[in-house]
Amino acid sequence: RLSRDLGLNPYTRPESAPQLRYTHIEQTVTPGSPVSLKCTAVGVPAPVITWTRDHRPLLPSHSTSVGSSRTPLGEVVSLVNLSSVTTREGGSYTCTAHNAHGSVA
C-alpha cells in the first residue's frame, strides 16, 4: 500500500488528456459502397469517443452503426460503419476523444 500512496506502483498510470493514435483518412467513395471509419485514442481515465458529421452528432440509423471497445492495452477503438453510402451521408466526419483532462479531435 505504501508504494501506491507514493506513486511508485508500476501498474498505475498518471492521469492524462486523450491522445489520438489513429484517425480515418479522407476518402471518396462510390454511392452504394460500404464505408468504415476508425479512430483510436488513449488517456487516463479512458476517453469517450464521439463522432460528428459536419459538426452535428452522428446518430446510429438503419444504415449507420457506431461502436467503441477497449483493447487490453487501454486504447479505445471506435468504428463507424456505413452499409450503403448515399450522397446524404457525404460530409466531414470528425472523431473527438474526451475525458476529465481534455479533448482532442
Q: What is the pLDDT of residues 42-83, one digit of tens each?
A: 999 999 999 999 999 998 888 899 999 999 989 999 999 999
Record the pTM.
0.82
Q: How far are the Cα atoms of 14, 33, 62, 64, 89 from residue 29, in angstroms, in the given order?
A: 41, 7, 19, 15, 11
